[in-house]
With several copies, the nearest count.
Chain A
């Protein structure tokens, strides 16, 4: 089974589908708090790492995934609405999170992400998410961008 299909089969997974607006960041923080309430076995260090990664990736989706690209109207102007779906779950061995959006296909090469210099005021998001997680992957297909996050329980 792939990680995504493991996650989609977890009976106590949490799933939220919502408009891709900044106000949703707080809601996802609360969603994570509920995930930890259901799974008190997840150590606090891993909770922090997952929260960081999820919020970074979601903030990127909200900020970048719907930019008008090469003259094509952004998703919300096409009328289908800027939305994302996040799925969160915990197995015996790992925390799994999937995040999908219906924004413009993003050309992201995670293998080229590096941490910027200390005086940079931006550009740390993806590098921080990568550093926090055991595994982060991205692919774009069928008009949706998919992020898969995994944090192994130590």
Chain B
């Protein structure tokens, strides 16, 4: 079972930390976690991937969906601290531009 830890920082940024594998089943959950945040007015979101041991195309799809829905509201979704496995998938799918990895959760919205 993949768990999702959700927090909001003092500056109103939503931080989502999936723990485990982001495959088909977990991607559906991530999608709804992100949709709930956006619907609740949180338009800047960091997905902290430090504890995400695996991601597949459906997990990527959920992240891209989050990028699009936050940007429509003038915000953004950024990813931080990807594991080696996640980096490999981002490389193979040419997504390191739209999902540029940040080193820290706190600094993910610094630029």
Contacts and interface: CB of A to CB of B under 8 A. Distances in A.
Contact of B94 (A26, A49, A51, A118): A118
Contacts of A49: 88
B86 to A, nearest CB: 10
Given A29-B21, A119-B64, A121-B61, A127 B93 contact: yes
A72 B107 CA distance: 54
Nearest to A49: B88
Counting chain B CB atoms within 10 Å of each CB, the highest count among A26, A44, A63, A124 belongs to: A124
Interface in A53-84: 55-56, 59, 62-63
B57 A132 contact: no
In this complex, the interface size class of chain A, counting residues with CB under 8 Å from chain B, is: 20 to 34
A122 B56 contact: no
A29 B88 contact: no
Nearest to B96: A118
Q: Which 6 A-B pairs have the closest CB atoms?
A: A124-B57, A121-B61, A125-B57, A131-B92, A118-B98, A59-B24
